[in-house]
Amino acid sequence: MIARRLILAIQFLTRLPTPQVRDFRQEDLSRAAVYYPLVGAIIGVLLAVPLYTLGDRPWLAGALTLLVWVWVTGALHLDGLGDVADAFGAAHRDPQRFLEVLKDPHMGVFGVVTLVMQLLLKFVLLTELAVSPLWFGIVLVPAWARWGTLWWSQRVPSLHANGMGERFSWQLSMRAMWLWAALLVAVSVFVAWPLLAALLVVPLVAAWWRSKLGGISGDGLGASVEVTETMLLVVLAVAAGFA
């Protein structure tokens, strides 16, 4: 059962090859979510390889690490960020209009510009991290961001009665969420203590969604992962300057 859920979590969040899981059921998505932070750590390990091995060439290290990041995740969360940016850009503070634009599969100028800026910012931050003593924190950045999905899906209502956010939180265990938080805190203390900022960043993202729209969607979860990852990279880059 554990292996089945972990495989499903890897399949949903990455492009990594896995064994086929038969008889998929809708509730499997929520049950597999408990392993999302672990999948985030797996992604982080893959990112650490080019970042460390090419540390003496930070620009190349940053470019290849970003390339691995986009490939291994299949740009899943970038897609959510682009959709959310388009929706907010066209909504003019109208929640109903936001939902209408969010359903449009086409991407407009707001989404394109946001994605370009996001990738550029990540690239710059990765080049900074490549020559930082806190470089190994990259392993925990995706893990913390995917822990955030557990928090947001529990603490922020779904914008759709049967949307991704609703299905995601259906059978999610609060106990598991807190256990993952404790584990990530313990590891962060020894590996890259500035990442404890995630304990502030994740609730702030949740509060932002509640204040703006009163809820969150599947695209919102993806966008929040991207924003959280970038904010944690900023924290590492700033902290490295004082190290």
pLDDT of 174 reads 81
pLDDT of 169 reads 55
CA-closest candidate to residue 20, choices 37, 36, 42, 4 = 4
Using CA atoms, how far apart are residues 35 and 51, in angstroms rounded to an integer?
25
For the cut 80, the answer to whether the pLDDT of residue 171 exceeds it is: no
Report the greatest alpha carbon distance in the chain.
52
Cα-Cα-Cα-Cα dihedral sign, residues 110, 209, 93, 168: positive
pLDDT-derived band at 233 (thresholds 50, 70, 90) equals: very high
* pLDDT tens profile 182-204: 999 999 999 999 999 999 999 99
* pLDDT tens profile 59-94: 999 999 999 999 999 999 999 999 888 888 777 666
Mean pLDDT, rounded, of the chain: 88
Weakest mean pLDDT among 48-57, 170-179, 217-226:
170-179
In this prediction the pTM is: 0.93
Cα-Cα-Cα-Cα dihedral sign, residues 114, 43, 189, 237: negative
* pLDDT tens profile 20-66: 877 767 667 777 888 999 999 999 999 999 999 998 999 999 999 99
Alpha helices in 57-173 (DSSP H): 58-73, 76-91, 95-102, 109-130, 141-155, 164-169
